[in-house]
Amino acid sequence: MDIRKVTPALSVSPQVSVQDIAALQGLGFKGLINVRPDGEEDGQPTSAEMEAAAAASGLAYVHIPVVSGKMTDADIEAFRQARSTMLGPVLSFCRTGTRAITLWAITQAPTLSNEAIIATAADAGYDLAGKAADLDARRVSAAQAHEKPSAPQAAAHTYDVVIVGGGAGGLAAAASLLKRRPGLDIAVIEPRETHYYQPGWTLVGGGVFSRDQTKRAMAKVMPKGVKWLRAAAAGFAPERNSVILESGDEVRYRALVVAPGLKLLWDKVAGLKDTLGKNGVTSNYMFDMAPYTWDLVKSLKGGKALFTQPPMPIKCAGAPQKAMYLACDHWARTGQLDGIDVAFHTAGGALFGVADYVPALMGYVEKYGAKLNMLENLIAVDGERKVATFDVTDANGNTEKVERPFDMIHVCPPQGPLDFIHTSPLANEAGWVDVNAETLQHTRYGNVFGIGDGTSAPNAKTAAAVRKQAPVVATNVLSVLEGKQSAAIYAGYGSCPLTVERGKVVLAEFGYGGVLQPTFPKWLVNGTKPSALAWFLKEKLMPALYFDLMLKGHEWLAKPEIISHKPVLHEAQEACDFSETKAS
């Protein structure tokens, strides 16, 4: 728990878990104020769950669902009432604690100076300097005074570049920008304190990596020279070049890079969230869950093991079958495989979206005796009964529900755009950041760019794609700042190192339309064949390439193509099949 004391009677924190509540009671807290709406984030406990746990621990509980970036007077009054009626000490929490500290600040405006409020918030780790004008207005309104208005506030600072998201895309773009223009005034909006190397989670689930090898403190990977705004973005106002934070404050920019990632839609599979991490149900798509995958693999001596893949798009589309291959390899090495019935269930119509890699992968499906089930979409998991339900579509397009028992099931959840992107003016009809597939420039707002998993570009959603996208975005952002046309081109590169056994990888590299884009000559690494050298790259080289090169602006083998005229999509790219490229 990250508890930050504001006053003797009030502390704030990021989201706490249901399990934390008993510990909070032990720390002396008497009440909880939850200022977060339900359903904001994957894995977020509901208010009803929090209230029940609070009651069981003898804590008072109040829920004030403050919509991120849209705090109302009613919210403020509800917080004031809760604070006046609840015995202290009280803990108030939201996603990051920002809404909680902002509510405290506004309710204190009539009695405390701006300097005292802002300094107290800063001591707790929150920057409320941008709230000075709002605090002044609240103070004047509360006093019903007719004094001379306060001196005009200085114009809000405008950054050269604002980057939304501190994942692979956001940090790589920031590093590439600073490589080209040291001293550029850049702000990165990111609430998390930890940065994750998500491509490593498959290896955690396969017993190769430890979980801690895949994380770094955000402060350690944030590029030197950027302003890190520890807050969550809630919306966009591109007509006034502003990003709206969950506190309601706005951050102004000359150019914007949107790198939000995507959302794991666990609730689209009925019963899945309730049984994850127990009853043999796991997923390498969660940092906390990948070690459980390895525990299940080691402990399973016989029975049925299912591996599922939902409809596209998803990030790291090879990960569902990577989990299967590494599990089967372990079972084969320990003599258990013959007693385990392995099945791969994919909602798609092909094992892999780029045909050149299918023969090698099918060889391993056959080697491990796995059953391949096409057009089967997981829709429900009953952990207690150990039964998974699929929508199964036949050759005529008819769909029926089929129940399949399991002893272990590895689930890849459905995925989609984040809510604050989906509802923003930057989104296309499907909810993704609407960008030109080649320049990664927004289709309607010329000073806005997208990078990574949250964009509409029809490339594979992988960290390797970001490695090629970051130099393109950096080059084109600087062109816009200089009043020039975007000239750098992204050809859709993505990479999926398919770990088909411990010690061998099929290194799939391809671009738009499934065109192969190998990094190395065929005599060194033939990506269509399993390779020990490719395994070395995956296990040893790629984590270092990620942390020590890509996130620091070293663009190894990632120089962008530059054109001297306004870019247009090549005909082959315009015609590329979205589902096939996403399936890769």
Question: Where in the sequence numbering do the catalytic residues fall?
Answer: 316, 496
d(CA 559, CA 491): 12
Buried-exposed string 506-532: b where 16+ CB fall within 10 A, e elsewhere = bbbbbbbbbbeebbbeeeebbbbebbe
Residue 62: beta bridge partners?
A: 33
Phi and psi, residue 132, nearest 5°: -55, -45
What stretches of 27-72 show up as alpha helix (H) in DSSP?
A: 47-56
Find tokens 């506004």 and name the residue. 106
Both tokens of 202, joined, read 């498959």
Both tokens of 135, joined, read 């605090």
* Peptide bond before residue 182 is cis, with ω within 30 degrees of 0: no
Q: Are strands 281-282 and 408-410 parallel, antiparallel or unpaired?
A: parallel
- Asked if residues 66 and 94 have their Cβ atoms less than 8 Å apart, the reply is yes
- Asked if residues 221 and 55 have their Cβ atoms less than 8 Å apart, the reply is no
Contact partners, residue 102, CB within 8 Å, separation at least 6: 71, 128, 131, 247, 248
Residue type, 541: L
Q: Beta-carbon neighbour count of residue 95 at 10 Å? A: 22
CA-based torsion, 104, 108, 112, 114: positive or negative: positive
How many Cα atoms are found within 13 Å in the side-chain-facing hemisphere of 113?
3
Q: Beta-carbon neighbour count of residue 347 at 10 Å? A: 23
